Amino acid sequence: MAFKVLARDKHSLARVGKLITRSGSVETPFFMPVATKTAVKHVSPEMLEAMGVNATISNSFVLSLRPGASVVKKLGGIRALSSYKGVMFTDSGGFQMYSPSLYKGSTDKGVEFKNPYSGERIFMTPEQNMQLQLDLGSDVAMCFDTMPLIAHSKEAVSLAVTRTTNWACRCKETHDALQKKISKKKRQLLFGIVQGGIHDDLRRVSAEALTQLDFDGFSIGGLALGEAKEDEYRMIEVCQGYLPRNKPVYLMGAGNPVELLEAIERGCDMFDSRFPTMNARHGNIFSWKGKYIVTNAEYKTSLKPLDEGCACMVCKRYSRAYICHLIRNEEGVGYQLASYHNLYFLQELMRRVRKAIRAGKFKEFKKKFIREYEGR
């Protein structure tokens, strides 16, 4: 079993669990920073470890372009490359279908990408993507999916669901075959990805189909893309109605603190997003009293820490004035300190969530957090 439930909230689907991988365990719910090329922007592996980040997610397709799968394989995988000690996820590359510099088109067979460095065309099948993620040596791999956008017609979303299901079968089959000779404890985990846009019936079709396959966990993809929050939360509820309760559920792309709590309440166990680090680089700071923009003029002379309620290394030492000054001047150290704080904030939020669930106080915790964070 790759997942154990350790505690359940009595009033919601919120739960504390443990994701068990060949490289260690991570308590759920957890948030993982995005390390597309095996490094989080401006935050080094030892900084991640210092703040208690136990998992990151990299992108298999992007890594296949540079430094290349053969280079990573020769090194011994992305852990040997980066020396990061936590659990390493890889995404498949389905998301890159929305990168105009990379994506050329797709068929039922697979996806045509362009290598932006060499101009070379690359045709990637689900089977090849499984081999790629195994070569990269991540602990948890994602199926190669077709992600529709919220703006797409229902017909297009429906076709994407069909293709995602079809590819999920091919991924699972290939992945099982490739790992046949590896002992169970050393196996890479594989998650299926549910698509379906904001259509209840398509989410149901997708979730039901994937549940037929014995994945180690299930991801909910194609959300947190700018759709209305009520649509996002309803879609989570629909998916949860069909996904098995003994498997971990990963809401992809979510990183807004309130969104995480809403998703946890609806049974989600893990999250990733560029949201905290991208926000940090723009001076948008998470705090227990809400998000604010540290580059605003009012903070130029503030000797207060980024967040008076925060115990992170940055808040213990640096002022808003310094970080305001550095980010206004596009200094790397400014990005580093603000990113560190925002990531720490989500780690601490997840620690408090797990504690609250264990104490049977998740609902109260959530209510209080949102009231203070949103200033209501």
Six token digits for residue 44: 């080094």
Q: Of the listed pieces 38-46, 103-111, 147-155, 368-376, which binds a copy of itself according to CB under 8 A?
A: 38-46
Catalytic residue flag (residue 272): yes
The CA distances from residue 72 to 48, 134, 266, in Å, are: 21, 11, 37
70-109: which residues touch a copy of itself (CB under 8 A)? 71, 74-76, 80-83
- Residues 235 and 196: beta-carbon distance below 8 Å: yes
Catalytic residue selected from 9, 91, 139, 145: 91
Name 109's Cβ contacts closer than 8 Å, sequence gap at least 6: 123, 125
**Which residue, 42 or 172, has its beta carbon nearer to a copy of itself?**
42
Q: Of the listed pieces 90-98, 208-216, 240-248, 326-334, which binds a copy of itself according to CB under 8 A?
A: 326-334
156-215: which residues touch a copy of itself (CB under 8 A)? none
Catalytic residue selected from 9, 135, 272, 307: 272
- Residues 12 and 363: beta-carbon distance below 8 Å: yes
Six token digits for residue 14: 């919120």
- Residues 98 and 147: beta-carbon distance below 8 Å: yes
Q: Is the dihedral of CA 8, 9, 10, 11 positive or negative?
A: negative
Size of the site for a copy of itself (CB under 8 A): 41
224-253: which residues touch a copy of itself (CB under 8 A)? none
**Which residue, 150 or 321, has its beta carbon nearer to a copy of itself?**
321
Q: Note whether 264 binds a copy of itself by CB under 8 A.
A: no
Q: Note whether 293 binds a copy of itself by CB under 8 A.
A: no
Name 180's Cβ contacts closer than 8 Å, sequence gap at least 6: none
Catalytic residue flag (residue 9): no
Cα atoms in the 13 Å half-sphere on the side-chain side of 329 = 11
CB of 131 to a copy of itself, least distance (A): 19
- The mark string for 54-73 relative to a copy of itself (x by CB under 8 A, - otherwise) is ------------xx---x--
Residues facing residue 111 across a β-bridge: 106, 124
The SS3 of residue 211 is helix
CB of 342 to a copy of itself, least distance (A): 15
Cα 195 from chain centroid? 15
Residues that are catalytic: 91, 272
Site of interaction with a copy of itself (CB under 8 A): 37-46, 66-67, 71, 74-76, 80-83, 300-301, 303, 313, 317-319, 321-322, 324-326, 328-329, 331-337
